[in-house]
Structure 1
Amino acid sequence: MVTIAGRSRTISVRGVGADEDSTTQYALQVRFRGDFAKQCDYPLDKIGRMPATRNCGLPDIVMLNVYLT
């Protein structure tokens, strides 16, 4: 997560997925393997928690790009 401050503030969050407990970048341990709905809900929950560390929340999100593979 990166914050860019100026006349307004922009916070960029990238690389959020259901694999935060992985021990290496090459052996991803995907949470909720086989449950598509939970794999979508979990990253959105993480995205909702991250802005709170910068004194904002989900209502402040202007654009959200989601890429499914």
Structure 2
Amino acid sequence: MSETSFFTDMIQSITDRGRQLLFSGSRTTQIAAEVDLQTLCEMLLSSRGEASGMAIAAEILER
């Protein structure tokens, strides 16, 4: 396994975990779906946790 592959897998794992924490549960998932792109960007800028920040960034990129 190359170092790049390991690093990529690790980053993906952190992103997935952050997304699970942020968007788990039906109410939270519904709220996240209703949040506009500007609000997600503001959340990213104000986020302190790396996992949650990566999850928010991934959500922004998907949109």
Alignment TM-score > 0.5, same fold = no
**TM-score, length-normalised on structure 2?**
0.31
- Higher strand fraction: Structure 1 or Structure 2? 1
Greater relative contact order (Cα < 8 A, sep 6+): 2
Question: Larger radius of gyration, structure 1 or 2?
Answer: 1
TM-score of the two chains, using structure 1 as the length reference:
0.30
- Bigger proportion of residues as helix: 2
